[in-house]
Amino acid sequence: MTSALVPAPSTSATPGRAQHPHRPPAVDAICLDIDDTLIDFTGSARTALTHLTGRDDLWPDWQRVTEQHSAMVVAGVLDYDTMRHARTKAFLAHLGTHLDDAAVAALEDRRLAQMNRAWRLFPDVLPCLDWLRAAGLRLAAVTNASSPHQRARLATLGVDRFFDTVISAGQLGAAKPDPVIFHTACAHLGVPPDHTAHIGDRLDLDAAGARAAGLHGIWLDRTHTGEPDPADIPVIDTLDDLPALLVTEYRTPTVTSTSGLPSPRR
């Protein structure tokens, strides 16, 4: 576990809001969530779970057990590999299937291999990352998952080269929406929170959490959840809309023209 925890800065400014009433806020860095923002995690993991169980209705139960065990990784109680096997054993026991450790390990390793074969980027990811880099923005990947595995996924999918840093909850011992993880990302980027935007698929953990930490939170609502658009938090349906939002609502390092860019959803 790293010791590079960054405490919340003292500020009287309203989180995520411009301090000058007549100028849009400046954004010099972007933080991006990984799972279900860049990588289709749910699609891959759900397919692997269906292969394991022969059923497609168990995903909510799997998510619940996973969240319980992932919290133990963040707290430093379990390492990632131990968590995987403990999680799968607990999930199977919940279904009434009690297996010894060797049998559970074999099933879990099979599930993980199936999931790893199914990883894919969303189609809008590479064009967006290219644009963000061309715009002169510094980039961080900020994840609540295990750092080594997320770094490996980014490398395998060919997008690790875009990021100046990767910050993970397992590495820090602090998970989104804790301000520490957002402030640590900003410190690694060398950009203050009020000049940084964070984009992710979770309204609570990503957009609202970032805004509460003093960043500009942006919600990527890929699945059209049906939740009402939150006040003061921009919402986009795809990363294809992120350049338009950044250009029209913020000041970025090198981009000043909005020509040809679609309008973001507000």
Same structural domain, 105 and 147: no
Kindly report the CATH number assigned to the domain that includes residue 204. 3.40.50.1000
Alpha carbons 123 and 234: distance in angstroms, whole number: 21
For residue 114, being part of any structural domain is answered with yes
Alpha carbons 117 and 260: distance in angstroms, whole number: 37
Same structural domain, 99 and 159: no
Same structural domain, 108 and 179: no
Same structural domain, 129 and 235: yes
Same structural domain, 190 and 109: no
Mapping DSSP to helix (H, G, I), strand (E, B) and coil, where does residue 31 land? strand
Q: How confident is the model at residue 259 (pLDDT cuts 50, 70, 90)?
A: very low
Domain boundary among 56, 91, 118: 118
Same structural domain, 128 and 112: no
Encode pLDDT of 43-63 as tens digits.
Answer: 999 999 999 899 999 999 999
Residue range of the domain that includes 102? 41-118
The structure tokens 């875009």 sit at 162
Q: Quick one: pLDDT at residue 21?
A: 54
Q: What is the mean pLDDT of the chain?
A: 87
Same structural domain, 130 and 231: yes
Cα 105 → chain centroid: 28
Mapping DSSP to helix (H, G, I), strand (E, B) and coil, where does residue 248 land? helix
**Total domains, the chain:** 2
Contact between residue 136 and residue 39 where contact means Cβ atoms under 8 Å apart: no
Same structural domain, 110 and 134: no
> Which two structure tokens, joined as six digits, stand for 42?
């749910």
For residue 19, being part of any structural domain is answered with no
Mapping DSSP to helix (H, G, I), strand (E, B) and coil, where does residue 203 land? helix
Alpha carbons 144 and 11: distance in angstroms, whole number: 26
For residue 227, being part of any structural domain is answered with yes
Q: Quick one: pLDDT at residue 14?
A: 44
Same structural domain, 84 and 162: no
For residue 106, being part of any structural domain is answered with yes
Query: Amino acid letter at 37?
Result: T
Alpha carbons 92 and 109: distance in angstroms, whole number: 14
For residue 140, being part of any structural domain is answered with yes
Residue 138 backbone dihedrals phi, psi, to 5 degrees? -80, 145
Q: Quick one: pLDDT at residue 2?
A: 45
Task: Say what the pTM is.
Answer: 0.82
For residue 185, being part of any structural domain is answered with yes
Encode pLDDT of 94-150 as tens digits.
Answer: 999 999 999 999 999 999 999 988 899 999 999 999 999 999 999 999 999 887 889
For residue 8, being part of any structural domain is answered with no
Same structural domain, 34 and 156: yes
Encode pLDDT of 7-32 as tens digits.
Answer: 545 444 444 444 445 589 999 999 99
Compare 173 and 188 and report the one with higher pLDDT: 188
Q: Angle at which helices 41-53 and 101-118 pack, to 10 degrees? A: 140
Q: Is the pLDDT of residue 255 over 60?
A: no
Same structural domain, 66 and 189: no
DSSP class per residue in 117-177: HH--B-TTHHHHHHHHHHTT-EEEEEESS-HHHHHHHHHHTT-GGG-SEEEEHHHHT--TT
Alpha carbons 7 and 69: distance in angstroms, whole number: 26
Give me the percent of the chain exceeding a pLDDT of 90: 70
Same structural domain, 134 and 88: no
Q: Quick one: pLDDT at residue 147?
A: 78
Q: How confident is the model at residue 243 (pLDDT cuts 50, 70, 90)?
A: very high
For residue 103, being part of any structural domain is answered with yes
